[in-house]
């Protein structure tokens, strides 16, 4: 049963990754992409954003996507097998030692999950060509903005989620701390670009996007680790889904893109 649940979670995550695009989910990156560039996408998921980058860098460019979840890479290789300038590799960043260096390294929504983001930035720096550039896109989870406020049960769940992340060594406000981390890692010409994600009824998928927190609450991990009462978890899902259906107007997730050069 546990294995089946794990497979189901992988399938749900794959679907989320497949629905991403450069235009919607890395909206400020395109202007710095140039034909002929060699780009590395760290934590690429299924490669949906990577393949959009490939279309811009063109036949003389190349995009390499790496991810440490094999099922995502296998799915992406099948979905995008006809894209000649896209290579997807199942490997952890810290075990990735290619012969080539890259003009640009990007990483979207990845460092938020790491307890060692500075070490990850140093590893990425070592993979850049001279004068190469890095772009990191990530969240400030401490400033999630719901309109109107969701049920108290979901607010309690979300507070617990932030505590669980903090206790595991993850930085809940990494979007705000990225400029300092890049500076400490030796990057210069650092820029911070607001890339907030606003979900409202101007988007056909806004209710499913707002529903991300029901999916997060679907995991039993925080219950199993003693952070959360299962009754509260189930109540949060039920009441939050009702709120989405009857009251939700919008949700804004605070997101920054931070760039640096070597």
What integer pLDDT is reported at residue 8 of this predicted model? 40
DSSP reduced 3-state for 148: coil
Rounded to 10°, the helix 174-184/117-126 angle is: 50
Nearest to 224 by CA among 171, 167, 164, 166: 164
Burial of 141 (0-12, 13-18, 19+ CB in 10 A): buried
What integer pLDDT is reported at residue 57 of this predicted model? 98
Kindly state the tokens that stand for 233: 């978890």
Q: How many helices (H) and strands (E) does the chain have?
A: 11, 8
CB 214 within 8 A of CB 158: no
| DSSP for 6-53, written as a single string | HHHHHHHHHHHHHT--HHHHSTT-GGG--TT-EEEEET-TTSHHHHHH
pTM reported for the whole predicted model: 0.91
For 46, the enclosing helix (H) or strand (E) is none
CA distance 254 to 243: 21
* Tens of pLDDT, residue by residue, the chain (262 residues): 344 433 344 556 666 677 789 999 999 999 999 999 999 999 999 999 999 999 999 999 999 999 999 999 999 999 999 999 999 999 999 999 999 999 999 999 999 999 999 999 999 999 999 999 999 999 999 999 999 999 999 999 999 999 999 999 999 999 999 999 999 999 999 999 999 999 999 988 899 999 999 999 999 999 999 999 999 999 999 999 999 999 999 999 999 999 999 9
What integer pLDDT is reported at residue 20 of this predicted model? 85
CA distance 103 to 83: 20
What integer pLDDT is reported at residue 205 of this predicted model? 87
What integer pLDDT is reported at residue 250 of this predicted model? 97
What integer pLDDT is reported at residue 247 of this predicted model? 96
Q: Where are the beta strands (DSSP E) in 124-168?
A: 128-147
């Amino acid at each position: 049963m546990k294995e089946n649940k794990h497979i189901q979670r992988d399938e749900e995550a794959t679907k989320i990754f497949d629905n991403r695009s450069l235009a919607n989910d890395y909206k400020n990156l395109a202007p710095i992409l140039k034909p002929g560039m060699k780009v590395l996408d760290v934590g690429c998921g299924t490669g949906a954003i990577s393949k959009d980058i490939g279309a811009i860098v063109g036949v003389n460019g190349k995009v390499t996507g790496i991810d440490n979840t094999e099922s995502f890479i296998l799915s992406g290789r099948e979905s995008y097998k006809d894209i000649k300038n896209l290579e997807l590799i199942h490997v952890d960043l810290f075990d990735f030692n290619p012969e080539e260096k890259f003009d640009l390294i990007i990483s979207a929504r990845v460092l938020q999950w790491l307890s060692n983001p500075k070490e990850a930035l140093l590893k990425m720096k070592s993979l850049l060509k001279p004068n190469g550039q890095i772009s990191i896109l990530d969240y400030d989870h401490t400033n999630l903005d719901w309109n109107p406020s969701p049920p108290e049960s979901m607010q309690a769940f979300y507070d617990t989620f932030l505590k669980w992340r903090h206790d595991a060594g993850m930085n809940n406000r990494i979007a705000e701390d990225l400029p300092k981390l890049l500076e400490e890692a030796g990057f210069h010409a650092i820029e911070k670009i607001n890339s907030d994600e606003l979900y409202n009824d101007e988007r056909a998928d806004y209710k499913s996007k707002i529903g991300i927190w029901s999916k997060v609450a679907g995991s039993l991990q925080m219950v199993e680790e003693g952070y959360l009462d299962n009754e509260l978890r189930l109540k949060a899902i039920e009441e939050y889904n009702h709120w989405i259906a009857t009251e939700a107007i919008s949700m804004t997730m605070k997101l920054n893109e931070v760039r640096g050069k070597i």
